[in-house]
Chains A and B, each alone.
Chain A
């Protein structure tokens, strides 16, 4: 299958202050983004891809100067792929508070001349979506053909239909949830405590000290990673396999391959991800709860989305955002008589399945985008 090839990120600066849900305001900000394919004459073929916790605007293609720099959803987005860049103009955008180029805690706070660090305002899914809408304005797109995302990206896709329902036709939310459960929040809190109790965290102002709370980030990534995989896939991949063939009778060295794998994932993550960003993004996850403003009535929350069309997808082995959570979304849509299709993909990989190219999953997305391309924009 073809790739979109070599791509390069663009950035756009926004001078208009962005009011945030917290009551704070971002005076001005920059969003980094990438686009693939061509915007058609009436700007009706644009699809926005929202990223999840640790991803970025780099959805597809690769960078000229870097090896192994494939975009995080390259198996889905490209010429001839389910989200076909020969037909659609695809936009990946990095969210505020991230550490991949858009305005975030690592960057200089114009008010102080030093990095924001822990002073970066708490941003929500809704704030991200509002910022994304301004980028869409700037690109000359009145109405998106679709917005798509997995996990936290799916929450953004849902939030688009609640905040800007007239500006998007289709919403595709994969492996997502209408809010986090207590268990989900608990996992996030363990990750945050690992970071904030690292002596190198310095209350979030570690940049001033020339250190990073790498230990905390490693543990945060390890716990997160466990929740992305299913019990079965972890068993199939590692089982009780020992690293050195026999027991070493040590409590601190690596004995099992799963330990080695988690440490490797943690190490890798701590080298490129920012601790303050991790705190911000997990908080955005915790806070997302569109039903809260309606006394917990999710059906009432989705009333504004009555003219949107939805595809909701879950994976049977995803225990982090289980199919039952997606069914809550479907029920709220059905209660409003909103157009929705729902698929429960029987994939073994757990939450991470949304990033993989399972045949049933991609066949479904291909069918949905085929249909979308064939329909006349309203």
Chain B
């Protein structure tokens, strides 16, 4: 798996010294990396019981919350960066979560499986839902309740007044900047609230 390299590519997007909120922080690996390598501080949010002590053990501040209940705990623009990696696709209220991300952080960084990656297209063209390294689940037993594409996210970001600062794909731990909607298994977006949203 290329998760470690994915993590390093995404960590590069976070300015050193940032105050970070990592939504769906898992066992805290990225926050620990950001703290050790880039002098970042902040909190992780995680729902899974087993992950909470793992975060604590490595000194990552973790808050156990269900993201479906929103981010009422966090004030407007209280973080430099809000990360939402490999999490958005598990949430029922995807759009609201994205708006919350933009409210709480100055910069949002999201990543999610790109359903338009070509092997997925091939699978669907053969009449079957894809089962791949990035989308390893059968359709009837998947935590990914929202499937979207790189191109879909660009549309949603526009609709919600988010200004995209950077966007690229990831595949096998390498950034994919040419035709990411076709060539990347994972989509990565870095964005901020657009002017319209900021004044409203």
Contact = CB atoms under 8 A, between A and B. Distances in A.
Nearest to A339: B61
B31 to A, nearest CB: 12
Interface stretch (B7-15, B47-55, B108-116): B47-55
B49 A331 contact: no
Interface centre among A311, A327, A343, A345 (most CB of B within 10 A): A343
A360 B63 contact: no
Interface in A345-373: 345-346, 360, 363-364, 366-368, 370-371
Nearest to A345: B49
Chain A binding surface SS class: helix
A337 B41 CA distance: 9
Nearest to A314: B64
Interface residues of B, number: 22
Interface string A74-110: 0000000000000000000000000000000000000
B74 A311 contact: no
Interface string B137-152: 0000000000000000
Contacts of A345: 49
B19 interface: yes
Interface string B61-94: 1111100000011110010000000000000000
B74 A341 contact: no
A330 interface: yes
A360 B51 CA distance: 11
A211 interface: no
A346 B48 CA distance: 11
Contacts of B78: 334-335
B74 to A, nearest CB: 6
B19 A335 contact: no
Interface residues of A, number: 24
A341 B55 contact: yes
A342 B57 contact: no
A314 B62 CA distance: 14
A340 B56 contact: no
A344 B64 contact: yes
A368 B61 contact: no
Interface of B: 19, 41, 43, 49, 52-59, 61-65, 72-75, 78
Interface of A: 311, 327, 330-331, 334-335, 337, 339-346, 360, 363-364, 366-368, 370-371, 375
Given A360-B49, A364-B53, 15 more contacts: A311-B56, A330-B63, A331-B73, A334-B78, A342-B62, A343-B52, A343-B64, A344-B64, A345-B49, A360-B53, A363-B53, A364-B52, A370-B57, A371-B56, A371-B58
28 contacts: A311-B56, A331-B72, A331-B73, A334-B43, A334-B73, A334-B74, A335-B75, A335-B78, A340-B61, A340-B63, A341-B55, A341-B61, A341-B63, A342-B63, A342-B64, A343-B62, A343-B64, A344-B64, A344-B65, A345-B49, A363-B53, A364-B52, A366-B53, A367-B56, A368-B53, A371-B56, A371-B58, A375-B59
Kindly list the 10 A-B residue pairs having the minimum CB-CB distance in the complex, ordered from nearest.
A367-B53, A367-B57, A367-B56, A342-B63, A364-B53, A343-B64, A343-B52, A344-B64, A363-B53, A331-B73
